[in-house]
A = this chain, B = another copy of it.
């Protein structure tokens, strides 16, 4: 169902669709690929980023093969993607998170939005995927805030939507809680979340609340592993005004 609220919020009054390309850094991984697929499916322009442009292009071709040649998806090297997009989605494993951000920093455009989906699973250091690491900054998203250029807006989202939920056909039975300190950036990312059928984008308050979102992923992985399934979460009891996009 088209989201009238999202469209109303678009700066130029037109629907957000295709207004700007979405750069998916690390988009050859399962989570990034799933998000790129869903957004391409919704008619968005997506640029998949990878360390190697060829691998990124290969992932883009896979999406085109699935969706048809009309899909607006291409691939490029991560730095080139940063230079081309005001809206970046970071989908890299936590073990490469800080080093990659340092490398990308000079390429990130002033005032860009960086959406961090990262979860610091203990699996990153040889531990379990059902446990997280404690970070000095409090969360991966807050670590990102420290590593991007001043003025870049960091938003935390999509941690709880597993790649299997994204790549299967059909709607995703999961809320996306969107946390950030810049209200406009939170709205923009909520519009992006609402483009995934089934997803409700919820205002999760300040960026620091990413701490809880990241922990929830570890809990959901536990549920998924124990039950050989792919779990999500829903927040209950919310009024419609709390749902920033994707009302069902």
Name A residues whose Cβ lies closer than 8 Å to a Cβ of B.
130-131, 134, 165, 173-174, 177, 202-205, 208-209, 211-213, 215-216, 218-220, 222-224, 226-239, 241-242
Contact = CB atoms under 8 A, between A and B. Distances in A.
Given A226-B242, A231-B237, A231-B238, 17 more contacts: A131-B208, A165-B237, A173-B236, A177-B219, A205-B222, A211-B215, A213-B219, A216-B219, A220-B235, A223-B238, A227-B242, A228-B239, A230-B237, A232-B235, A233-B233, A233-B235, A233-B236
A218 B204 CA distance: 11
A181 B81 CA distance: 47
Contacts of A131: 208
A216 B220 contact: no
Complex copy number for this chain: 2
Nearest to A162: B237
Contact of A233 (B130, B227, B234): B234
B232 A236 contact: yes
A137 to B, nearest CB: 13
A218 to B, nearest CB: 6
18 contacts: A134-B134, A203-B226, A204-B223, A205-B222, A212-B216, A212-B219, A215-B216, A223-B238, A223-B242, A224-B237, A226-B242, A229-B238, A230-B237, A231-B235, A231-B236, A231-B237, A233-B234, A234-B236
A218 B211 CA distance: 11
A202 B224 CA distance: 12
B218 A212 contact: yes
A220 B33 CA distance: 30
A63 to B, nearest CB: 24
Contacts of A202: 223
Contacts of A239: 227-229
